[in-house]
Structure 1
Amino acid sequence: MIDLYALTSPNVQKIYIALEELGLPYKEHFVDVWKGDQFAAEFMKLNPNGKIPVIVDHDGPDGTPITIFESGAILLYLAEKTGKLLPSDKRARTEALQWLMIQLTGVGPAFGNFIHFQRFAPQEQDHDYSLSRYRTEMLRILTLIDERLSSSAYLGGADYSIVDISTWPWMRLYMATPGAGEKVPHLARWFATIEKRDAVQRALAKIGKIQSVRESAQARDKDRLFGRGEFARA
């Protein structure tokens, strides 16, 4: 059994999808970041970085429990545990891992920062430069991925893998924009293909039932989450 500490962010969605694809049994534990649950002492023992997702696999290496945080590390662990969702051939595996790193170091930061300044930054301040900077990087990465998918069925290569699972939840944010698929037709084809997968639909159904206090979060709750105001360290 795997304990999954989660809420609804794209990084958490990755793990839901992977667990459903692999058919591994898991139990959900909701960590409402809008209430500061991630800073509770018990959770910080699981992840000293105070972020979700986290898993605890009670059937870890040598049959002993193991705790893993960071979505990329979790995906790699699950792929290696099961021998699935990553190529076994070294050349193909290396190619796939390159694109996994693009998601972890490029897609996530660019999309995440753009959304932060667009939705959550204090409106009384000027964020034009920040929005322009991250919008430009986001669009550059979208073009890169679209070009990759013009000659590859999946992001990591010929087969569906944790590279697609890692990237797809972030693309949901972009593809929700009317007409988005017209600008990146190869990405749109890939997105629709993955969206139809049974495991993805099961994961989305579970995520859709999760409740948090995001909509009612007060200014202090947001300050705590984003490390600003009285919670700023600089």
Structure 2
Amino acid sequence: MNNRNGRFSPMKRPLRTTLTGIIAVFLSAWLAVAATAAEEQRAFPAPGSWQFSFKPGASYISYFLKGNVHDTLGYVRDMQGSASATIVPDGRMNSAGVQFAFAAQEMKSNDEARDKRMYKKFMETHLYPEISFTGKSAGTGLEQAAALAGATKEQPIAFDLAGTLAIHGTTRNITIPMTAYPENGLLIAEGTTTLQLPDYNIKNPSWLVMRTVDLVKIDFHIELRPEPQALQPST
């Protein structure tokens, strides 16, 4: 019906125009739901190839030396690193790799004077300023592991990380037993190994009557943040 100006009244539009609008609304809603579902499918640890960055301030390495007078416990809390993992359709992580590096002077105990002595006399940080590691999963650990999504801190998956560790100008092959589990959207990786100071041409820090063993116990706690833009669906 026309109004006085010869135009259609807004209340009298053709029925097909109204139906088109309704269909458009439902289509938009469906696409939004589909997009949300797709994002949920991409959430870690969904199958695919993942890249990770170290969560700032959350990852650390500890080192421990036994002594006859006092022990030495120190930490590295500032490091740069990245990691990768592939999760197959059945949910298992079938490969993993990690690399990190940090300044040798980031090794810090609760004794500043002792640390300065270590930097100068034993680690010789003026000559060898950086420590680095590069490794990837090895052995049958991941082949025998359950789906990553079901792993927990109490029952993580276990595997070996084999690679090279460079300290004090010496690079050696090393295998580190590791565990991993997802938590709050992150991948938590932990491991423990031991090093012998002579293997890296590092002098024993014993001094006067204070004796220290050559064995160094190393613990790793690495919190890995997945990079969504790097996710690729597995085939």
Q: TM-score range by the shorter chain?
A: under 0.3
| TM-score of the aligned structures, taking structure 1 as reference length | 0.25
Q: Which has the larger radius of gyration?
A: 2
Which structure: greater helix fraction? 1
TM-score, normalised via structure 2 length = 0.25
| Structure (1 or 2) with the greater strand fraction | 2
